[in-house]
Amino acid sequence: MKVCKVEGCDNKFLAKGLCQKHYERLTRTGSLHLGIRNCSVCGTEFEAKNSFHKTCSKECSKLSRAYTKNKWDVGNPEKKKTSKDVFLQTRPLYGTWRGMKERCYRKNHRSYPNYGGRGIKVCSRWKNDYQAFEDDLLTTYKEGLTLDRENNDGNYEPENCRWATWEEQNSNKRVKT
């Protein structure tokens, strides 16, 4: 029986002289040779100890992680989360406001075809201003209710929105043809 050519490994040979474990590593990284690399943060050359090393030092690694975390923050990729952002997430209607916008504008949202895909939009007053949305709807909000559009073909706007129970929502569905 042929065995893996990696020293100390007695697993069965799969391809290129390697067992499945080591072969998967080979195809994932592209090469077993690590050699000299350039730091992804500061550009300094360094000798990589494994295929995951992309930075030359702990300091650069911390900077890289901090940049990536802030860069891919939900919402605006170049925006860092502020205390205001964290505060808004504690507001009772914030999830409703965000969900309404996602259904209308985020094309990969599962409900987009039934909202944005049908041309339903959020009024300009609410679209980028959570506080305006809260000012218009918080006074009539009660826990357990959901945001409902009275006219299912209409946009999300103060004149067309109300708070409803799930039963009321279910009786206000559009007729599918």
Which residues is 18 bridged to in the sheet?
15
* pTM confidence score: 0.51
Angstrom distance (rounded) from CA 79 to CA 129 = 17
| CA distance readout (Å), 26 to 3, 20, 36, 50, 82 | 16, 10, 18, 12, 42
Mean pLDDT on 79-99: 72
Six-digit token pair at 170?
């279910």
Residues 18-36 pLDDT 10s: 777 766 665 444 444 556 6
Angstrom distance (rounded) from CA 156 to CA 123 = 6
Six-digit token pair at 109?
């949202």
- For residue 166, pLDDT over 50 is answered with yes
- Say if residue 121 is exposed, middle or buried (CB neighbours under 10 Å; 0-12, 13-18, 19+): middle
